[in-house]
Amino acid sequence: MRKLVFIPLLLFLTGCPKPEVTARDAIAGAHGYVVYGQSEWKAECTATPTQGKCQLVNKLIAGEHTTADLLAVYCSGTPKSGAQPYAQGGECVEVKSAYNALSASVANIQDLIKQVNMFLPANTKVKPIQPAVGVR
């Protein structure tokens, strides 16, 4: 009987990842694809920058920067007295009004990653990822 109570409690306590963690992970994932694309497709993209995969790498770069900026805004709430702000290494203090923009930016990165996956060869060094669904 104790196990039946413990399992749902454990599931409730672990819950979904925090939005700032999901955003950070999306930024890191996008960066991996950017580095791969820039190293593997440099000659192609220099010669023909309008190719789909080259445009996607550029969009991922923009998505990384936008999401990082929105993450900074989302976590810029007023910290507890004596605590450092997020920008100085403190904890994320949520600004709820920034949630929808952050969530949309993460979804954009996840969509771009799925699109880049289509250009990866079967024997690539980068393993295609399946991004998490939504921020919350």
Q: What is the Cα–Cα distance from 27 to 13, expressed in whole angstroms?
A: 26
DSSP string across 58-105: HHHHHHHHHHHHHHHHHTBSPPPTTPPPGGGT---B--GGGHHHHHHH
User: For residue 38, which of 23, 56, 65 has the smallest C-alpha distance?
Assistant: 56
How many domains are contained in the chain?
1
What does the mean pLDDT of the chain come to?
A: 84
Domain that holds residue 87: 16-117
Q: In this structure, is residue 38 part of a structural domain?
A: yes
Q: In this structure, is residue 104 part of a structural domain?
A: yes
Q: In this structure, is residue 2 part of a structural domain?
A: no
Q: Pick the range with the lowest mean pLDDT from 45-49, 79-83, 92-96, 100-104.
A: 79-83
Q: In this structure, is residue 37 part of a structural domain?
A: yes
Q: In this structure, is residue 98 part of a structural domain?
A: yes
Q: In this structure, is residue 6 part of a structural domain?
A: no
Q: In this structure, is residue 28 part of a structural domain?
A: yes
Tens digit of pLDDT for each residue in 83-102? 999 989 999 999 999 999 99
Q: What is the Cα–Cα distance from 95 to 19, expressed in whole angstroms?
A: 11
H or E segment at 55? Answer: helix 52-74
Q: In this structure, is residue 125 part of a structural domain?
A: no
